[in-house]
Amino acid sequence: MVDLTTKYLGMTLKNPLIASASLLTGSLDNVKKLEDSGIAAVVLQSIFEEQINKEIHQIDHFLFRNRDSFSEATEFFPQDEDFDHIRPDAYLEEVARIKQSVDIPVIGSLNGVSDGGWIDYATKLQDAGVDALELNVTYVPTDATLNPREVEEMYIKTIKDLKAHVKIPLSLKMNSCFTNPAFTAKQFEDAGVNALTIFDNPTLVDIDLEELTTLTKVNLTSSSSLSQTLRWCAILYNQLDIDLCANTGIHSGEDVLKALMSGAKATSFASVLFQKGISEVSIMLEFIEQWMIEKEYKSITQMIGSISLEHTDNPAAFERSSYMHALTTYRY
Ligand SMILES: Cc1cc2nc3c(=O)[nH]c(=O)nc-3n(C[C@H](O)[C@H](O)[C@H](O)COP(=O)(O)O)c2cc1C
């Protein structure tokens, strides 16, 4: 028997597999199916700042800071139909229903970028029973005069505001677009987050050549997206005291094992569930267990961080030094 348990966000998870926030974690039916397939925890589909603030008629300047004037900005505001499927009160009712109906930990997900009334909603999620919160700050700075420090301060203020509102553990789903992600991650740790989800996976932008307009598309990944996740988990593992959850590019039992070795305590994923179905979770778990038996690993804890930047015998792979070698020795 191998011990698949791991500790994440102050909880003991029965294994390191978490369903990442998506449409699939927005309904009780699917969360039950995920639980049946062996998933250890779910991050619920996000409730968005825009959805909450629409209800309380507040729009923060950070959402529109690149627009010439507020009246012009409103035309960029998401359309009414974007809100219709999730109303904040109905969302809370579904969260409470999910929490009461499953035994696995349920992590709430708040998606926003700025301070304002939406932060009070975290308290309501806590009251609805979620075991922890994941904050997703998807902010794309498009203003060339905006100082990066100001962007980081915005994140830090949001984290501190949230921490002041809730007692449950908080993770930040971080994006990779910082000059020195390790420095920024440390600042988020200092601001009070209990874990970092490495990394968020932004939507894709495209251009429609018929309509001559821009398009936004959901970005389904494959295992080839795992590289960034592995690199930064490996770099952060020994430099932070908080938990890491590997996100983006986890598609198989192999990917989970690699992420744990790079330093993640847990992994979360969405694309594979859309591409292969919820039952893939049990296949991933079976692979992990079998691999551990073959390689004589007794526990998941044993392998966490074993191939992080500090512990690998080939640190060059995570750094610049391997870059020239890989490029110049490529054979075609
Ligand atoms: C259809 C879809 C909906 C998603 N909805 C959310 C969401 O509500 N909140 C969030 O933080 N991430 C959301 N995500 C992002 C996923 O949680 C995940 O971070 C991302 O897909 C990368 O993981 P993957 O490589 O396993 O897909 C969504 C992804 C997909 C594909």
Question: Per-residue pLDDT tens for 106-125?
Answer: 999 998 877 666 788 899 99
Residue 233 has pLDDT above 80, yes or no: yes
Average pLDDT of the residues in 75-100: 73
Which tops the pLDDT comparison, 144 or 328? 144
Q: What is the rounded (10 degree) CA torsion for 308, 310, 314, 316?
A: 100
Domain boundaries, the chain: 6-328
pLDDT score recorded for residue 8: 98
Q: In the structure encoding, which two tokens stand for residue 332, read together?
A: 């075609």
> What are the phi and psi torsion angles at 103 (to 5°)?
-95, -20
pLDDT score recorded for residue 229: 96
Residue 204 has pLDDT above 80, yes or no: yes
Residue 194 in contact with ligand 1 by CB distance below 6 A: no
pLDDT score recorded for residue 153: 94
pLDDT score recorded for residue 139: 85
pLDDT score recorded for residue 86: 66
pLDDT score recorded for residue 75: 42
Extended strands (E) in 17-168: 17-19, 41-43, 47-48, 106-111, 132-136
Pocket perturbation via mutation, ligand 1, pick of 17, 20, 133, 199 by most ligand atoms within 8 A of CB:
20
pLDDT score recorded for residue 321: 65
Residue 221 in contact with ligand 1 by CB distance below 6 A: yes
pLDDT score recorded for residue 74: 42
Residue 197 in contact with ligand 1 by CB distance below 6 A: no
Average pLDDT of the residues in 140-155: 92
Between the CA of 20 and the centroid of ligand 1 the distance, in Å, is: 6
Average pLDDT of the residues in 58-63: 49
Residue 296 C-alpha from the chain's centroid: 31
Average pLDDT of the residues in 295-306: 97
Residue 68 has pLDDT above 50, yes or no: no
Please state which of the ranges 28-42, 135-149, 219-233 shows the lowest mean pLDDT: 135-149
Residues whose CB falls within 8 Å of the CB of residue 291, separated by 6 or more in sequence, listed in order: 253, 254, 257, 297
Percent with pLDDT over 90 in the chain: 71
Which tops the pLDDT comparison, 273 or 57? 273
Pocket perturbation via mutation, ligand 1, pick of 201, 216, 274 by most ligand atoms within 8 A of CB:
201
Q: In the structure encoding, which two tokens stand for residue 197, read together?
A: 């989800």
Between the CA of 292 and the centroid of ligand 1 the distance, in Å, is: 28
Average pLDDT of the residues in 204-231: 94
Average pLDDT of the residues in 21-50: 95
For 6-328, CATH number? Answer: 3.20.20.70
Residue 160 has pLDDT above 50, yes or no: yes
Residue 45 in contact with ligand 1 by CB distance below 6 A: yes
pLDDT score recorded for residue 324: 75
As a whole number of angstroms, the distance between CA 258 and CA 226 comes to 9
Residue 140 has pLDDT above 70, yes or no: yes
Average pLDDT of the residues in 190-201: 96
Among left, alpha and beta (phi > 0; psi -120 to 50; other), residue 219 is: beta
pLDDT score recorded for residue 147: 94
Measuring CA to CA, how many Å separate 155 from each of 47, 117, 329? 18, 16, 41
Please, where are the H alpha helices in 226-270?
Answer: 226-236, 253-262
Residue closest by Cα to atom 30 of ligand 1 = 22
Residue 67 has pLDDT above 50, yes or no: no
Residue 28 has pLDDT above 70, yes or no: yes
Residue closest by Cα to atom 24 of ligand 1 = 248
Residue 70 has pLDDT above 70, yes or no: no
Average pLDDT of the residues in 67-96: 61
Q: Compute the mean pLDDT over every residue in the chain, rounded to the nearest whole number.
A: 89
Please state which of the ranges 199-208, 284-293, 315-324 shows the lowest mean pLDDT: 315-324
